[in-house]
Amino acid sequence: MSRNSRESSLEQIIIDLVKSSPNNSLQRDVIANALAINSKKEYRKLDKAIGRLDKRGILSKNGSQIQLRTSHSKLKKENSNLVEGYIQLTPRGTGYVIVEGMEDDIMIPSNDTGLSLPNDIVSVKITGKKGSGQPKGKIVEILKRGKEFYVGTFKRTGDRTYIIEPDQKSAHINFFVLKDNFNGAHNNDKVLFNLKNWTHPKALPEAEVISILGKSGTNDANILSILAENELKADFDDEVEKFADRIPVDIPEEEFKRRRDMRDEFVF
């Protein structure tokens, strides 16, 4: 890719990010986090791209706030050849959409999976077939998220950048986390988190830490991760916990008298 093409691609991603945000406005650091920028060289490229867009009258910059100046029409979605199903994703990002009533899954190349995450219900445009006859497609819309919560490891990647590396079953892409959404997480903590925002396939999705499961690699964190991955609760409502606390643990003497004591017997 030529230098001009790379610059144009970065500019379009910035436009899409700002355009997809509330009020068509974003902080520079939020854009940098979404693009996983953590070096001075990458920050300079970002600032130059914003400067070029400012000069062309597309964006305006007020301090660290980036605002969209002009409206850009969205591409119209084509309704032909659209089907709905749920998507599964490989670690490399290739997707397979399972559609009820279709014999073959629809293969989605990694650059056409859009903003999809595992088990999302998606709308797919069938674009052709592979040599084997398997249909190929492109994600055009996320109809419903497949999960509410995800599990991963909270990691520091730079002076001001933090990401969550999701467990394999949770997602295939890293998430960035802003400081306001750490919720007490520290480096290498295993965390439960949710998707806060995702506006462009070439940018990282934004996450919010919901709870800390423990240090990555410990038994407690591993057990809680398995429960969370399978959407099983590791705790109970306060009312249930209070009821359990009222159940006596000690065995009354009367029970010993009416039962046969096998505690010292070898039983199998």
CB-based contacts of 233, cutoff 8 Å, min separation 6: 227
| Residue 85 pLDDT | 92
Position 234 scores a pLDDT of 65
Q: Which of 177, 113, 172 is nearest to 141 (CA)?
A: 113
pLDDT tens digits, 64-108:
889 887 544 333 334 456 899 999 999 888 999 999 888 899 999
Q: Identify whether the C-beta of residue 49 lies closer than 8 Å to the C-beta of residue 93.
A: no
Q: Which CATH class is domain 3-68?
A: mainly alpha
pLDDT at 70: 57
- Which CATH number is correct for 82-144, 1.10.8.60, 3.10.580.10, 2.40.50.140, 3.20.20.60? 2.40.50.140
Question: Closest Cα to residue 205, out of 238, 229, 241, 181?
Answer: 181
pLDDT for position 151 = 94
- DSSP helix/strand/coil, 189: strand
Two domains, one topology: 82-144 and 150-229: yes
Low-confidence stretches of the chain (pLDDT beneath 70): 1-5, 70-81, 233-236
Q: Using CA atoms, how far apart are residues 96 and 114, in angstroms rounded to an integer? A: 13
For residue range 104-133, list pLDDT tens digits in order.
999 999 999 999 999 999 999 999 988 888
| pLDDT at 236 (0 to 100) | 65
Residue 168: what pLDDT? 75
How confident is the model at residue 74, as a pLDDT? 38
Fold classification of 150-229 (topology level): OB fold (Dihydrolipoamide Acetyltransferase, E2P) (2.40.50)
Task: Give the start-to-end residue ranges of the domains of the chain.
Answer: 3-68, 82-144, 150-229
- Alpha-carbon distance of 268 to 261, in angstroms, equals 15
Question: Residue 265: its pLDDT value, please?
Answer: 84
